Amino acid sequence: MRIFILLFCLLTLSQAARISEVANIVGVRDNQIIGYSLVVGLKKTGDGTTSKFTLQSIANMLKAMNIDMNPVDIKSKNVAAVVVTAKFAPFARQGDAFDVVVSSIGDAKSLEGGTLLMTPLKGVDGKIYALAQGSISIGGKNEKGSGAESHPTVGMVYGGGLVEREINQDLYHQQNATLSLKSSNFANSVAIQNVINAKYRSKVATAVDPRTIQLQLPQNRSMVEFLAEVQNLDINYAQEQKIIINERTGTIIAGVDIEIKPVVITQGDITVKILSQNTVAKPAGSVEMDKSLVIGLNENEVYTEKGTTTVANIARSLQKLGANPKQMISIFQAMKSAGAITVDLEVI
């Protein structure tokens, strides 16, 4: 397995960002809605007779159309039971169209070519907020060699959902609003507070914790105008340092200036020595990689200089030594456990 090392300076530096990019307005969000229905018109790729709920659903549908049918007498394979899911956008208005996802819950082989029957979509409160219906697209073909379709039992109905019930949100008459940072950070919370207060030359924003900023509507502004202006303000956004390792793909993502403290780590035939002297003692026959790193005589040791050792150059050195992903991950985890790496290390 090849290993990929992604090094981004911006992961560890302050950067300019709009408030809309780092914070959400509390209460202005998508809502999840869900429904159960049938897909018809399939070419013998629907649910079989083992999906009893599908047969019962067909019988119930026919009964609503004044056709009394015993479920055990239904043998059709052109119908599939599905769950329909969608996101209900904030401030959606009656008649607005949106996309829905259709997923089989029976033993159907494919939903390709099917039509979703009218489906009530409900929120967590059990109320119907939208209806969905229409032709299903699975985004590819199933014929051999004509395209790769990995999920023929999951499809989309583009524009198939219609809003029936609105969620009332009266922002215009509100005097207060709340911003919520996408990740907790004291410095960013205070930075947003200061930028907003400087813009309006009054204390209209108050950082109450590392994630929450309360807003007070200033004079001569509507809440809509105020929030639009606030979201477009720029701040010096401090991104927390972190090392992310993907064990499955062998990908390591880290900032180029995350320092590693003096430590000695041995993993298999590879030894990493981070020394405390100001200059690297270069063993005879060693190879200099840059001003702070040297590969040892047997090409199984890395010597580094105090104050210049980072995750970035250690990762490059280990890669040149031929370390595999498992070895590199073990080395960084050991460094973290030993206290040589102080930033968060996340394995995904």
Examine the domain organization and report whether 254 and 140 are in the same domain.
Answer: no
* pLDDT tens for each residue of 139-155: 754 444 444 445 788 99
On the question of pLDDT at 280 being above 60, the answer is: no
* pLDDT tens for each residue of 27-85: 888 899 999 999 999 988 888 877 888 888 888 888 888 888 888 778 888 899 999 99
pTM of this prediction? 0.65
Residue 12 included in any domain: no
Residue 187 included in any domain: yes
Domain boundary among the residues 113, 132, 163 is at 163
- Name the DSSP letter for residue 9: G
Residue 322 included in any domain: yes
Examine the domain organization and report whether 221 and 265 are in the same domain.
Answer: no
Examine the domain organization and report whether 304 and 253 are in the same domain.
Answer: yes
User: Taking a C-beta distance cutoff of 8 angstroms, is the pair 102, 155 a contact?
Assistant: yes
- Residue span of the structural domain in which 340 resides: 242-347
**Alpha-carbon 212 to chain mean position:** 21
Domain boundary among the residues 110, 133, 163 is at 163
Rounded to 10 degrees, the C-alpha dihedral 64/65/71/72 comes to 160
Residue 260 included in any domain: yes
For the chain, first and last CA: distance in Å? Answer: 17
Residue of higher predicted confidence among 180 and 288? 180
Predicted confidence at residue 14, as pLDDT, reads 52
Q: How many domains, in total, are found in the chain?
A: 3
Examine the domain organization and report whether 290 and 206 are in the same domain.
Answer: no
Domain boundary among the residues 163, 190, 219 is at 163
Examine the domain organization and report whether 271 and 221 are in the same domain.
Answer: no
pLDDT bin (cut points 50, 70, 90) of residue 13 is very low
Examine the domain organization and report whether 124 and 63 are in the same domain.
Answer: yes
Whole-angstrom distance, CA of residue 92 vs CA of residue 167: 7
Residue 210 included in any domain: yes
